């Protein structure tokens, strides 16, 4: 028997008075986090949540996230974390597809009204029986009539709870990912998947209770959730939470909180190096304290890595993984030679191959598809038997990424599945964006591709063919899309066309659009900065 909530419970037992979470002027110990999680679990069970039920969670990087995450797990339920940038349409889909029985949603802010979007979605999903609003003020009332607050769920509940016993192969978390085509699919990650990945992440950084981790990666995402939160709780280190990345806030946290470990996507390292006000902070002190950094989510430019390491005299470990692999599959470690541009070697207990279409290993140095097998690979896509048959051909998980291996056993990603866009570490799936764009009454056809961007790595560009006789401007499309899609998805560049290049069967030739977009200077509306 194994429950992922053990990573919290063990630290609460062994280090009860140690600070677990820091958020602005709030400091909570491991014992306090565990007690609050027990109240959540008791409240959920009293509301009828049973082992295996799905509970969706929309919450930014604030102390509520680990409290609710581990509370759901203690109740034996399955956590379904949702992107805080999702709009009503997207939340509705995820609540429906995951068969969520309950939904916990943060109240949000004026600029990011998560609660309003979440409530609108909840009302469209009759199978989701309960919704509780996580209020900004822990003692505050729900801002929505008829929708109870988290406080109402947990008030008068005991601070102890007998954690529901789950099996190692029971689903603990469902993380949604689109792969490269179609609508998002839920990757079922088991308790064993996530406990082992957390153990390995802790060991890769040689994490100890003395470490202080800055967590700015979103906790709803696999990287921040598994490699930092779960690994941090397992190692009894302190987590300093930031709800969003802002270079100066990161600098301030480095300095004031004596941060020793930082994980980020490459654009974060780029932004830190290019922050105009970094001179305001004690770089010498930060460099002495910061002992290790980890980069993932996209390929780290070698020059950015070199400059950052020189400035802080720190080692950046670069790794590779997917939501379907819990997420880490390969990584450099402190014990092996680092090769810039490489994603390192497979984790303990994980096998990685580079194969051709017949599942035969390609020669060293030659490109092929990266396939993975091991304890980190998901149970499968939720309710997607055909997708599972395709993903697990030959008994290995097919990543769809093109990679190569050198003579020393180091792996390299040389390309990714041709259509997927990685914007600032977030996967953007063109087909999903296209389907939303084509719901616009004056859009006849849409094709979405990635274009190079210095800050985000890639930016989203849409080619639009209007309905015959209709007029449509790029500004109109962008403004509309901004309301319909999460902020990282909507196109910053739009080009209106009368036709799109197609082959004889009518398939849009995105290779031509990508080639054109990458050789043409992109113009965006000035208000989109």
Convert the pLDDT of each residue in 260-303 to its tens digit: 999 998 888 988 998 889 889 999 999 999 999 999 887 788 88
Residues in the chain: 529
Domain boundaries, the chain: 6-16+25-189, 421-528
Q: Which whole number is the average pLDDT over 17-21?
A: 98
**Options 3.30.565.10, 3.40.50.300, 3.30.300.30, 1.10.730.10; CATH of 421-528:** 3.30.300.30
d(CA 445, CA 438): 6
pLDDT at 527 > cutoff 50: no
Q: Which residue has better confidence, 454 or 258? A: 258
Q: Could you read off the pLDDT of 241-262 as tens digits, one per residue?
A: 999 999 999 999 999 999 999 9
Q: Could you read off the pLDDT of 189-210 as tens digits, one per residue?
A: 999 999 999 999 999 999 999 9
For 345-354, the CB contacts below 8 A with 24+ separation are 345/409, 345/410, 345/411, 346/374, 346/411, 347/200, 347/374, 347/376, 348/200, 349/196, 349/374, 349/375, 349/376, 350/325, 350/374, 350/375, 350/376, 352/405, 352/411, 353/396, 354/403, 354/404, 354/405, 354/411
Q: Could you read off the pLDDT of 142-193 as tens digits, one per residue?
A: 999 999 999 999 999 999 999 999 999 999 999 998 644 568 999 999 999 9
pLDDT score for 510: 85
CB 234 within 8 A of CB 263: no
Got the DSSP string for 293-349? Answer: EEE-SSPPPHHHHHHHHHHHT-EEEEEEE-GGGSSEEEE--TTS---TT--BEEPTT
Characterize the bridge pairing of strands 171-177 and 185-190: antiparallel
Architecture of domain 6-16+25-189: 3-Layer(aba) Sandwich (3.40)
Q: How confident is the model at residue 504 (pLDDT cuts 50, 70, 90)?
A: very low
pLDDT score for 217: 95
- Phi and psi based region of residue 326 (left: phi greater than 0; alpha: psi -120 to 50; beta: remaining): left
Q: Which residue has better confidence, 325 or 512? A: 325
Q: Which whole number is the average pLDDT over 421-440?
A: 86
Same fold, 6-16+25-189 and 421-528: no
The pTM of the full predicted model, rounded to 2 decimals, is 0.86
Residue with tokens 């978390």: 173
CB 508 within 8 A of CB 447: yes
Q: Which residues contact 269 (CB under 8 A, 6 or more apart)?
A: 293, 295, 300, 304, 305, 308, 316
């Amino acid at each position: 028997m194994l429950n992922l909530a053990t990573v919290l419970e063990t630290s609460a037992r062994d280090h009860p008075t140690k600070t677990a979470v820091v958020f602005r002027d709030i400091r909570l110990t491991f014992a306090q986090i565990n007690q609050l999680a027990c109240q959540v679990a008791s409240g959920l069970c009293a509301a009828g949540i049973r082992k295996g039920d799905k509970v969706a969670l929309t919450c930014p990087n604030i102390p509520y996230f680990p409290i609710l995450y581990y509370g759901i797990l203690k109740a034996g339920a399955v956590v379904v974390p949702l992107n805080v940038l999702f709009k009503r349409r997207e939340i509705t889909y995820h609540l429906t597809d995951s068969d969520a029985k309950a939904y916990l949603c943060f109240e949000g802010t004026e600029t990011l009204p998560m609660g309003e979007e979440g409530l609108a979605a909840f009302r469209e999903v009759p199978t989701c029986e309960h919704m509780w609003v996580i209020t900004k003020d822990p003692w505050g009332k729900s801002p929505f009539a008829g929708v109870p607050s988290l406080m109402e769920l947990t008030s008068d509940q005991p601070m102890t709870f007998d954690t529901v016993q789950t099996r190692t192969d029971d689903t603990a978390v469902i993380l949604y990912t689109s792969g490269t085509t179609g609508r998002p699919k839920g990757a079922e990650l088991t308790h064993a998947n996530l406990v082992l990945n957390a153990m390995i992440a802790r060991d890769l950084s040689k994490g100890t209770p003395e470490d202080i981790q800055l967590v700015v990666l979103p906790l709803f995402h696999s990287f921040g959730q598994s490699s930092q939160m779960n690994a941090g709780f397992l190692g009894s280190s302190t987590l300093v939470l930031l709800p969003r990345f802002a270079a100066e806030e990161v600098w301030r946290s480095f300095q004031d909180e004596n941060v020793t470990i930082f994980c980020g996507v490459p654009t974060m390292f780029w932004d830190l190096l290019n922050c105009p006000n970094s001179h305001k902070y004690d770089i010498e002190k930060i460099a002495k304290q910061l002992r290790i950094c980890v980069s993932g989510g996209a390929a780290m430019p070698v020059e950015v890595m070199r400059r950052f390491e020189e400035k802080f005299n720190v080692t950046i470990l670069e790794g590779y993984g997917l939501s379907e692999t819990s997420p880490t599959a390969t990584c450099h470690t402190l014990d092996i030679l680092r090769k810039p541009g490489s994603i390192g070697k497979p984790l303990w207990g994980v096998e990685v191959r580079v194969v051709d279409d017949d599942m035969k290993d390609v020669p060293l140095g030659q490109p092929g598809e990266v396939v993975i097998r091991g304890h980190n690979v998901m149970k499968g896509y939720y309710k997607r038997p055909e997708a599972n048959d395709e993903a697990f051909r030959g008994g290995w998980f097919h990543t769809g990424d093109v990679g190569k291996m050198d003579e020393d056993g180091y792996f390299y990603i040389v390309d990714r599945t041709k259509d997927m866009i990685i914007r600032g570490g977030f996967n953007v799936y063109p087909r999903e964006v296209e389907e939303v764009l084509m719901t616009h009454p004056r859009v006849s056809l849409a094709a979405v591709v990635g274009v190079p961007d210095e800050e985000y790595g890639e930016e989203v560009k849409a080619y639009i063919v209007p309905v015959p006789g209709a007029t449509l401007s790029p500004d109109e499309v962008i403004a509309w899309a901004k309301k319909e899609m999460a902020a990282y998805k909507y196109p910053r560049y739009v080009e209106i066309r009368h036709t799109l290049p197609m082959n004889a069967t009518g398939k849009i030739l995105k290779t031509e659009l990508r080639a054109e977009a990458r050789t043409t200077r992109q113009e965006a509306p000035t208000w989109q900065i």
